[in-house]
Amino acid sequence: MISKEITIQNPTGLHTRPANDFISLANTFKCNITIGKNDKSANAKSIIKLLRIGISQHDVITLQTDGEDEEQAMQALTQFLAELKE
């Protein structure tokens, strides 16, 4: 399992459109992916569960990947979040 804290820089946070793109990317990996904020966590492959967390700009989230392609998933998803500008 890999775990990483990430601060969201996108001015609009992880709203519907970028969340959908994040989910699409997450679903290309076989490993389990979890995203958490404060005391909430969700399966990062579910748009409804992800949006319930309410991720805004400057929020610190915890991204966890666990499984056979966890390293590739972590790299791709952290890069996606770092480059997100919507």
- Give catalytic residues, as residue numbers: 15
Cβ within 8 Å of residue 65, ≥6 positions away = 1, 2, 29, 31, 32, 33, 71, 73, 74, 77
Handedness of CA 25, 9, 33, 36 (dihedral sign): negative
